[in-house]
Amino acid sequence: MSPVSLLLNVLWIVFGGLWMAIGWLVAALIMAVTIVGLPWARAAFNIASYTLLPFGRKAVSRADYLGMEDFGTGPFGLIGNVVWLVLAGWWLALGHLIAAFFLAVTIIGIPFAWAHVKLAGIALWPVGKMIIQADDAAYPQRGVQPRRAGSP
């Protein structure tokens, strides 16, 4: 992690990132307790980690990054995201948007407000996402090339 990312992450934790990460953990624990919600719990735990330290990392679609679909990125992922949206996504997104509003009022809070807005979008549709280092965003992992439009 670069020194700038480290500084931004420390400030992020102080200015509301910790509370939203706890919100994600609560959602993950509630989903895990139901047993049926374990796929959502896994996604929520991953995003809780990202919510705690967002600077220097990026959320990307697994299908786009790895170049292939899996169980969570196909039709079941769509259904999973709709269920997540109804059960937990809307209130997490609302929390991020409220935090973004109050941070955007100050000049120094604008980068943090923007991070909350991005996290609000992820809160609505988290299944099928993976968290990577921002430097790796342009490079697929393990030599897997992304699919090109129109290829099988």
Would you say 146 and 130 are in contact if contact means Cβ atoms under 8 Å apart?
no
In a domain, 104, yes or no: yes
Domains identified in the chain, total number: 1
Cite the beta strand spans of the chain per DSSP E: 57-61, 129-133
**Domain of residue 131, residue span:** 3-135
Hey, what long-range contacts does 103-106 have (CB within 8 A, 24 or more apart)?
103/15, 103/16
In a domain, 18, yes or no: yes
Q: What is the pTM of this model?
A: 0.80
What are 108's two structure tokens?
């120094």
How many C-alpha atoms does 78 have within 13 Å on its Cβ side?
3
In a domain, 78, yes or no: yes
Q: What is the pLDDT along the chain (152 residues), one digit of tens a residue?
A: 789 989 999 999 988 789 999 999 999 999 899 888 887 888 889 889 999 999 989 888 888 888 887 777 778 888 888 988 888 889 999 999 999 999 999 888 898 999 999 999 999 988 888 888 887 766 555 545 554 444 44
